[in-house]
Amino acid sequence: MVLDPTKHADWEIAEEAESRMKTVYELGEKLGLNKEELLPHGHYVAKLDYRAILNRLKDRPDGKYVDVTAITPTPLGEGKSTCAMGLVQGLGRRNKSVVGAIRQPSGGPTMNIKGSAAGGGLAQCIPLTPFSLGLTGDINAIMNAHNLAMVALTSRMQHECNYTDEQLGKRGLRRLDIHPKKVEMGWVMDYCAQSLRNITIGQGGPMDGMTMQSKFAIAVSSEVMAILSVARDLKDMRERMGRIVVGYDRQDRPVTTEDLDVAGAMTAWMVEALNPNLLQTIEGQPVVVHAGPFANIAIGQSSVIADRVALKLADYNVTESGFGADIGFEKFWNLKCRFSGLKPNCAVVVATIRALKCHGGAPIPVPGKPMPAEYGKENVGWVEQGCVNLLHHIETVKKAGINPVVCINAFYTDTDNEIKAVRRLCEAAGARVALSKHWQYGGDGALEFADAVVDACEEPNDFKFLYDLETPLSKRIELIATEVYGADGVSYTPEAQVKLKRMEADPDLKEMGTCMVKTHLSLSHDPTKKGAPKGWTLPIRDILTYKGAGFVVPVAGAISLMPGTASDPAYRRIDVDVETGRVKGVF
């Protein structure tokens, strides 16, 4: 029995579908895996030994590479993960060999407003509860590795305060002389905890550490997560882990995890996490889950390793980038593809009539409150006006030289006239357009979508980066701001200006990638500005150094690396059946 998504919650649909799941052994057989390449975590979740798989299949040609991105979302999201799962299921219905590659959800949004990003309706990744609640422990490993660096840093600072150089030397240590006001790193946890954005640590006596200002960020924004996203193998990860800059000394020289003698132990936490996770859609297609979300404050991509594995195992790899094309796709384009050396065949831009209305003048939806009634009524004018945002993202994809496919992620409240308006405007802009009803009908509802993607993948493209690595950092930021966001220019706070000059003078930083931090709710830095804003300047308030991951991180506007929890979060509706252990309410 398949449940009707108009009458049942996502978790109920997932639970019913889980009664028919393939075991990981059946999935492994379908993928042609050898027994030792599959590392089971129970019956329905497994790790994949990426080294064994890539070594065995090194001479096999890669499959087609499809990225799923979106327009600027409403605060409720646009169903990008749902579309990715729908496309995998649609390609499966067309008898294509396909693997999805998506990101592991963070506990922050899972317990907050947005949900677990498993998809929705009849296009989901399952089993839902393990997927949503920790999976195989990758994010836990990231938290432990990251926080171990902070333990090493703070304990070292305490000992340097309490011991002379001679006493330090007897303990095999040299004085690093870390400046307490130049500590770049903070702590991480996998929840949205706004009260931890700014904290004071070390209160008490001399044995309680140095008193100083510190901070928490959400775990998936950690540089360790970024390293997991871009590392090619364990050797590459170990080298990157040692380059993480934790702060600066009193002579303004960087202090790294290698200087703290902690990089090896940090990597030890991450050895198993390097192996991607194997799950499935509710229709039984394999899905590789690896790395994390939040492209607004992190790289927000499924990992390079996951994509390399998926491209060897199937004829099509459907991967996913976070939020809109201005953020997630831009990082896929200029960071992930640069690190991996992979070239995409097609990019999907997901759009909903709901979001187009929001960009066209409808009231902005508020998370936790009922959708405004205007969204349930036909308004072609709002849809047409909102298409200015969609057309902007189409042009961004075309600037990368990639074939764009617009997926209209259908809601059963959409009208024919609204859908026709989107088709007309997008086709005039040179994009393929497909209406997809995967949420309501699963793979059968995504056949038009799958066909459009197959056609786009058969056409040649002219993939190219937005900037060369020799381009100065200030010019790169300007290019992203003007060419991708539509800004007139860039401004800097005095602090950011000082860091910019230092970074442009540092030969080690000149050729690193650029990973922007910016709100996902607008093309600009201001989340209230919808559509395609004109006549504005992008304000850069800070620039962080992720030397291990291999990029610098300009921070635009007021966005924080630690999101906040809303007044009506999802955890209020999540509970457990104490007789069966069944978790209900996760979505």
* Domains defined along the chain, listed by start: 1-460 (3.40.50.300), 473-556 (3.10.410.10)
Determine whether 295 is an active site residue: yes
Query: Cα–Cα distance between 84 and 439 in angstroms, integer?
Result: 11
> Residue 339: how many CA atoms within 13 Å on its side-chain side?
31
One of 14, 17, 64, 80 is an active-site residue; which one? 80
Q: Are 224 and 269 in contact (CB under 8 A)?
A: no
pLDDT per position as a tens digit, 321-379: 988 999 999 999 999 999 999 999 999 999 999 999 999 999 988 877 788 998 989 99
pTM over 0.85: yes
What tokens appear for 502 in the block? 């230092």
- Which entry of 295, 450, 487, 549 is annotated as an active-site residue? 295
Rounded to whole angstroms, the Cα distance separating 438 from 309 reads 26
Catalytic residue among 47, 64, 96, 114: 114
Q: Has 532 been annotated as catalytic?
A: no
Q: How far is CA 99 from CA 195, 216, 343, 415, 506, in A?
A: 40, 35, 17, 32, 41
Distance CA 575, CA 572 (A): 8
Question: Residue 432 in 3-state DSSP?
Answer: strand
pLDDT value of position 197:
97
80 carries an active-site annotation? yes
The residue assigned the tokens 């327009």 is 71
- Three-state DSSP class for residue 386: helix
Q: Residue 399 in 3-state DSSP?
A: helix
The verdict on whether 439 is a catalytic residue reads yes
What SS3 string covers 323-342?
CCHHHHHHHHHHHHHHHHCC
Instruction: Identify the DSSP state of 482.
Output: I
DSSP annotation of 387: H
Q: Is 567 exposed, middle or buried (0-12, 13-18, 19+ CB in 10 A)?
A: exposed
DSSP of 498-553, one letter per residue? Answer: HHHHHHHH-TTTTT-EE--B--SSSSSS-TT--SS--S-EEEEEEEEEETTTTEEE
- Residues 160 and 178: their CA atoms lie apart, in Å, by 9
CA 259, 261, 266, 268 torsion-angle sign: positive
DSSP code per residue over 128-163: HHHHHTTTTSHHHHHHHHHHHHHHHHHHHHHHHHHS
Let me know if 411 is a catalytic residue.
yes
Complete DSSP assignment for 162-224? HS-HHHHHHTT-----EEEEEE---EEESS--GGGSSEEE--SSGGG---EEE-EEEGGGSHH
Of 69, 72, 74, 82, the active-site residue reads 82
* pLDDT at position 206: 83
Q: Which of 64, 96, 103, 238 is catalytic?
A: 103
| Cβ atoms within 10 Å, residue 1 | 6
C-alpha distance across the termini of the chain, in Å: 20
Helix (H), strand (E) at residue 397: helix 380-399
Catalytic residue among 23, 399, 411, 502: 411
- Asked if 398 is an active-site residue, the reply is no
Helix axis angle, 353-360 to 416-428, nearest 10°: 80
* Alpha carbons 69 and 329: distance in angstroms, whole number: 6
Nearest Cα to 521, choosing from 223, 322, 298?
322
Residues of the chain with pLDDT below 50 are none
CB 79 within 8 A of CB 117: no
The yes-or-no answer on residue 103 being catalytic is yes
What local confidence, expressed as pLDDT, does residue 48 receive?
Answer: 98
Q: Retrieve residue 184's tokens.
A: 């770049």
- Residue corresponding to tokens 């929705």: 120
205-243 residues labelled b (16+ CB within 10 A) or e (exposed): eeeebbebebbbbbbbbbbbbbbbbbbbeeebbbebbbb
Q: Single out the catalytic residue among 323, 329, 339, 449.
A: 323
Q: What is the DSSP track for 13-58?
A: HHHHHHTTPPPHHHHHHHHT--GGGEEESSSS-EEE-HHHHHHHTT
Q: Which phi-psi region, left, alpha or beta, contains residue 526 (left: φ > 0; alpha: ψ -120 to 50)?
A: beta
Other residues' Cβ atoms within 10 Å of the Cβ of residue 465: 15
**Catalytic option among 339, 382, 439, 449:** 439
Nearest to 191 by CA among 565, 567, 518, 560: 565
Catalytic status, residue 22: no
387-438 pLDDT, tens digit each: 999 999 999 999 999 999 999 999 988 999 999 999 999 999 999 999 999 9
Distance CA 18, CA 28 (A): 18
d(CA 180, CA 288) in angstroms, rounded, equals 41
